[in-house]
Amino acid sequence: MGAALAVHGGRPVRTGRPWPRWPQPAPGADAALLEVLHSGRWSIASPYGGATTYEQRFAGDFASYLGVGHCVPTASGTAALMTALEACGVGAGDEVVVPALSWAASASTVAGVNAVPVFCDVDPHTLCLDPASAEAAVTPATKAIVVVHLYSAVADLTGLRAVADRHGLALIEDSAQAHGATYLGRKVGTFGDVGTFSMHHTKVLTSGEGGAAVTDDAALARRIEHLRADGRCRAARAPRTGAPELVETGELMGSNRCLSEFQSALLIAQLKTLDAQNGSRRTNAALLDRLLAEQGLSPQQTSPGTTRRTYFGYAVELPAAPPDAASSAAVAEALTAELGLPVRPVYQPLFASRLYDPSSRRRFDIRPGHLDRLDPRQYARPAAARAAHTFLTFHHAALLGEEQDMHDIAEAFRRVLARRAQLTG
C-alpha cells in the first residue's frame, strides 16, 4: 500500500508550496481606498459633497456588468435577501420555498421577515433546488421561491421560473456564489424578480462584507432602497452641498443596511478583475474534472442551460463505498493533511444544521404554533441528506493556482481513497 497518509504521520503530497491567497486586491484597490479616506464622505448618509458617491458608481458598474436595470448595494448578502423578500411582499405567516441544501441564511432570512421557510429537495447532481420538489411544496400560503446557485452549479432557472409563473410567485435568485455565471447567455441574478449577491470575504467578488440586490423592476428597486436605508431614498435631484442626499419620503419603514463608501470603492476595483479570475478558475476546474473522473469521482454538474460556470467552491462526489467505510468528514480531514488546503464536506442540510434553530431566539415566537411551523425537524429530503455525506468541497482560491496544483489535488484524492479503509470516523 506504500507510505502512510499524512494524517497518520506520513509525508504529505504537497510541501513547501503555498496555495493562492484570498482575497487578492485588484490593481488600483489601494488608491481607491485612499480616495475615500480623504474624500470627507465615508457613508451615503453623509452630507452631499458635490460628487457622485462610490456606492452609486459601483451600483452602475455592477448593473451594467449584469445587464440589469437597477442595483441597490447592501451591507451583506443577508441584507440583500431580507430586503428582496420584503420588497416582493413576503411577510408574517407566508411560506417561502427554499433549497434544503444551502447556507443557513437561506432559511434564517425567511424567518427574519416572520415568514416560514419550506425546505425542498435538490437535484442530486447539481445540488441546486429541484423544480419538481419546489412545485410539490406550493400551497395557498406560498409567496415566493428562493433559488440558490450552489458552489459551481447554476440551478434549473427555466424550470423554476416556470413554476413561479404558474403559481404567481416571486422568484428570488440567490447568486451569492455565482458572480459572473451565465444561463442561456444571460448573467445569473437577472432571471428572478430580484437577484441577490454577497460580497463576503470568501466570495469571488468581495469587499470583506457587503451585498447587492438587482432587478429590472423600478418599483421593487425603490422599495429595496427604502428598506436598506431606514426608509430613506436618494433624492431625484442633487441637493445643495452639505445637505443630506437621502430623502425621508415616509413611503416605507426600513433599517440601516447600507454599504459603506470604502467597500463600494473597493468593489469598483475588484469588479475589473472578476472575469479574468473566473476564466482561470474554469480552466483549472476543467482539468481537475478530468483528473478526478479518471479515478471514478463525479464532479458537481450544472443545469443544462448553463453557458458559463463560476466556481465559488469546487465540489465533487466520492465514489460509492461500503457502509462501514470512513465518513466523508474523515476523508476530508485526510485530504486536508495531504494538501495543506482545507477540504470539507458540503453544507449540512438546513433541517440538520446547527446554525438554523429558530427556537433558540424568542423573537420568532410571534404567535401560537408559529415555532412549530419553523421547526426544521419536520423535513426529510433524501437527495440533500445524501449529498452531505458524499460530496466534498474546497475554496475557489485553489483554482487560481497552476496546472501542477490540480495534479496535486488529484494525487491526494488517489492516495486517500486508496487507503480509505485505514481511516476512522
Residue 323: band (very low, low, confident or very high) from pLDDT cuts 50, 70, 90:
confident
Query: What pLDDT sits at residue 352?
Result: 95
Residue 224: band (very low, low, confident or very high) from pLDDT cuts 50, 70, 90:
very high
Q: How far is Cα of residue 273 from the mean position of the Cα atoms in its chain?
A: 19
pLDDT at 167 over 60: yes
Q: 178-195, pLDDT tens digit by residue?
A: 999 999 999 999 999 999
Q: Can you tell me the distance from the alpha carbon of 102 to that of 121, in angstroms, rounded to the nearest whole number?
A: 11
For 219, how many CA atoms within 13 A lie in the half-sphere containing its CB? 3
Place of cell 409567496: 143
Higher pLDDT, 236 or 346: 346
List C-alpha distances in Å: 190 to 42, 70, 393.
30, 10, 27
pLDDT at 260 over 80: yes
CB burial of residue 10 (10 Å; 0-12, 13-18, 19+) = middle
Summarize the confidence of residues 238-260 as an average pLDDT: 95
All structural domains of the chain, each given as residue ranges with its CATH number in brackets, are 29-272 (3.40.640.10)
DSSP tag of 68: -
- What are 7's three cell numbers? 494524517
Q: Can you tell me the distance from the alpha carbon of 143 to that of 88, in angstroms, rounded to the nearest whole number?
A: 9
pLDDT at 325 over 90: no
pLDDT at 281 over 90: yes
List C-alpha distances in Å: 7 to 100, 302, 340, 409.
32, 33, 11, 15
CB 145 within 8 A of CB 170: yes
Q: 80-135, pLDDT tens digit by residue?
A: 999 999 999 999 999 999 999 999 999 999 999 999 999 999 999 999 999 999 99
**Nearest residue to 53 via CA among 256, 274, 239:** 239
pLDDT at 155 over 80: yes
Catalytic one of 143, 187, 203, 272: 203
Summarize the confidence of residues 135-140 as an average pLDDT: 98
**Beta strands 246-248 and 95-99, pairing class:** unpaired
Cis peptide before 23 (omega within 30 of 0): yes
What sections of 147-260 are H helices per DSSP?
157-167, 218-228
State pTM to two decimals. 0.97
Query: What pLDDT sits at residue 321?
Result: 85
Q: 34-82, pLDDT tens digit by residue?
A: 999 999 999 999 999 999 999 999 999 999 999 999 999 999 999 999 9
Place of cell 429537495: 121
pLDDT at 1 over 80: no
Sign of the dihedral through C-alpha 127, 133, 138, 139: negative
For 421, how many CA atoms within 13 A lie in the half-sphere containing its CB? 3
Q: How much of the chain, in percent, has pLDDT values that exceed 70?
A: 99
CB 275 within 8 A of CB 246: no
Query: What pLDDT sits at residue 61?
Result: 98
Summarize the confidence of residues 350-367 as an average pLDDT: 95
Q: Is 143 a catalytic residue?
A: no
Query: What pLDDT sits at residue 172?
Result: 98
pLDDT at 2 over 80: no
pLDDT at 208 over 80: yes
pLDDT, the chain, mean: 96
**Beta strands 116-120 and 194-198, pairing class:** unpaired
pLDDT at 218 over 60: yes
